[in-house]
Amino acid sequence: MTTATTSIAGTAPINTRGVGVRFEQLSKRYGDFYAVDSLDLNVAPGEFLSILGPSGSGKTTVLMLIAGFVAPTSGRLLLGDQDISQIPPYKRNIGVVFQNYALFPHLDVRRNVGFPLEVRGVPKDEIAKRVNWALERVHMEKFADRRISQLSGGQQQRIALARAIVFEPRALLMDEPLAALDRNLRQDMQYEIRSLQRSLGQTVIYVTHDQEEALNLSDRVAVMNLGRLQQVDTPKNLYLRPANPFVAGFFGEANLLSGKTQGGVFTTDAGIRLPVTETREGPAVLCVRPEMIVFGDERKSDFPSLTGTVLETRYRGSILHIELDTPLGKINAVQHINTTNDAPAEGTTLEFGWDPNLGHVMMGQV
Amino acid sequence: MSTTIPNRNTLLAGFSSADWESQRRRVTAVLLILPVVMMTLLFLVPLGYLLWLSFGGPAGFSLNAYKQLSAPFYINLALFTLQLAFLVTIACAVIAYPLAYMLANIENTLSRLVVLGLVISLWLSVLARTYSWIIILQRNGVVNNMLQWMGITDGPLSLVYNQTGVYIGMIHILLPYMVMTLYPTMRAIDGSLVRSALSLGATPWTAFRRIYFPLSMSGLVSGSILVFTMAIGFFVTPAILGGGSANTIVMAIQNQVQVLVDLPLAAATSIILLLVSMLILVVYEKIAGVEKIFGEGR
Ligand SMILES: Nc1ncnc2c1ncn2[C@@H]1O[C@H](COP(=O)(O)OP(=O)(O)OP(=O)(O)O)[C@@H](O)[C@H]1O
Ligand SMILES: [Mg+2]
């Protein structure tokens, strides 16, 4: 804020990039229950990071820790290079978009968006300029004089966003901001939030329980479960290189085989040997995505060679799901439908395999 | 619409929105008959009778009663009553606001017990609550004994049978009404609004002043109206705790009926009291109106 206010030229503020956020062994305990357990996480300046996890996994708690509404039990929280764990919320300069928007019902749109500037003692004409700037960014300049009760859900969402960026916060936090909107609107808003964040260079930490949303929006996604961070990675790596079975199961379907790996060979608990590229050794879980599975002649010589009986087939749009009973247990496969292939009849025996380069070994998991 | 009563088919086929609208209006009209009849019988008829009585009643039209009321005696009485009601309302607001705030925002057993206590106190007889203040405030009552025992005062203070006693008693009796109107308004204020204000850079005091207080205003307004109207018509407490030193308009009316047996005068006083109360409410609504805070949107 301090650097940003002085550098305003014309109506559009020159934006400083957001700053980084760093969690060091941050924990929040309620009684003897850890809502957030030893969180280590580094969010880069200008990064869009989503926090994804099932209900009760501690996502909101993480946001409230950053915003300052929840005090950490232990650990450090750094904004830029400043430890903010002891700083009250109103001195943190962090924008928060609440799930229910939290717009002030007794103030009109203009006063709502101007509120953070007013409480900072910004002069009136300056407030007017910057409110207009923020409203333009969310395409709501025509609604400046409306009351909050006269806005639709999506419009309120935009105003909440404008209010959270108008004071050029050091980071922007959003707690399931689109959860209450319908599907189409949600996609539009996703696109707008993303392009706004890019153009402002704003650091965004975005909580959602919608994987598709997290994958669409984020540079990286932090997956949480039971208060613990499971993995932080790019959307692609979360899918192809999940750190553990929880993450593998969270993003799409996965065939998970437990066993141990040694010298490029994975041996399942039932004793079946499968080629892998993993060179480490020890107990592990092998993850094979349904779309990696190929049948019959499509297999290459280095693919594992297995047979299975078709249990069930289902069409879902352009995709055919095949459930197989195999020596590995039940295996799910999917195939893209083209004009030449027909669904195999139930009970048919099929030969199948996959590219060992694509199979992913998760070490140390049982 | 050819028939007013929809047959089975139209019922099954579902109403068009126009049908639905007219149906609803008809139901509303039927449901309103009873309250309208009750209002007329119990409220408007007696009021009309009172008005007729105040202008002379059976003895024929005269403005005599109203002329009598312009005497300084009655003017002073009215001013005192207004002052009493006004100060009691202010005191109740000042005490009730922080109390209701704590009850609404702190969730523990104690605050639930206090709410329960307040609700129960609304059921207790005003007479009983008034008399208990005599026991507490009299010359050798709990308060005076305590003060002397602690060495704060040398002799007993006169706390009752004077205006002090009336104020204490009325504030105590009317306080729960203020708290119980403020409490639901405050409960309904979304906590994320204040949190959001803080995250936007408002200090806790600014967040309270700019967000919480304006949103609790509607409760404060209706609580004040309730307490003020009740205070202006209070009889039992000023009569018992005042010991003759806190005469209000209502006590004058009682006197007019029972001692002077001047029914037109009593009726005229009642009418004036009613008009003054209504005028004050209208002015108050204009100044601190709920409508203004939320606009026509709600
Ligand atoms: N004030 C509190 N006291 C005790 N436990 C709490 C408190 N606040 C949160 N918790 C617990 O901490 C855990 C994490 O809560 P949190 O709200 O962070 O979950 P979440 O991931 O945001 O879930 P959701 O997707 O349902 O919003 C939950 O089990 C919750 O019950
Ligand atoms: Mg949550």
Q: What is the pLDDT of residues B146-184, one digit of tens each?
A: 888 888 888 888 887 888 888 999 999 999 999 999 999
> Relative to the CA of A54, which ligand 1 atom is closest?
25
Question: Cβ distance A257 to A286 under 8 Å?
Answer: yes
Cα distance from B223 to chain A (closest Cα, Å)?
20
Question: Cβ distance B64 to B266 under 8 Å?
Answer: no
pLDDT digits (tens, 9 = 90+) for A42-91: 999 999 999 999 999 999 999 999 999 999 999 999 998 889 988 999 99
Question: Cβ distance A321 to A334 under 8 Å?
Answer: yes
pLDDT of B4 strictly over 80: no
Count of all residues that appear for chain B in the document: 298
Judged by its nearest atom, the ligand closest to the C-alpha of residue A54 is 1
Cβ-based contacts of B293 with chain A (< 8 Å): 106
pLDDT of B42 strictly over 80: yes
Q: Which of B196, B215, B294 sits opposite A102 (nearest CB)?
A: B196
Name residues of chain A where pLDDT drops below 70.
1-17, 339-341, 365-366
Q: Which of A102, A116, A150 sits opposite B201 (nearest CB)?
A: A116
pLDDT band (50, 70, 90) for residue B14 = low
CB atoms under 10 Å from CB of A203, counted, come to: 26
pLDDT for the residue B295: 42
Spatial separation of the C-alpha atoms in residues A58 and A42, rounded to whole Å:
17
The reported pTM is 0.78
pLDDT for the residue B146: 87
Cβ-based contacts of B295 with chain A (< 8 Å): 147, 149
Cβ-based contacts of A87 with chain B (< 8 Å): none
Given an 8 Å threshold on Cβ–Cβ distance, is B196 in contact with A96? yes
Cα distance from A186 to chain B (closest Cα, Å)?
22
Cβ-based contacts of A100 with chain B (< 8 Å): 190, 192
What structural domains does chain B harbor? 9-54 (no CATH), 65-292 (1.10.3720.10)
Q: Which of B192, B206, B298 sits opposite A119 (nearest CB)?
A: B206
pLDDT band (50, 70, 90) for residue B30 = confident
Given an 8 Å threshold on Cβ–Cβ distance, is A104 in contact with B204? no
ipTM above 0.85, yes or no: no
Given an 8 Å threshold on Cβ–Cβ distance, is B192 in contact with A104? no
Given an 8 Å threshold on Cβ–Cβ distance, is B199 in contact with A89? yes
- Atom 16 in ligand 1: which residue has the minimum CA distance? A58
Given an 8 Å threshold on Cβ–Cβ distance, is A163 in contact with B294? no
In the three-class reduction of DSSP (H, G, I as helix; E, B as strand; rest coil), residue A209 is classed as coil
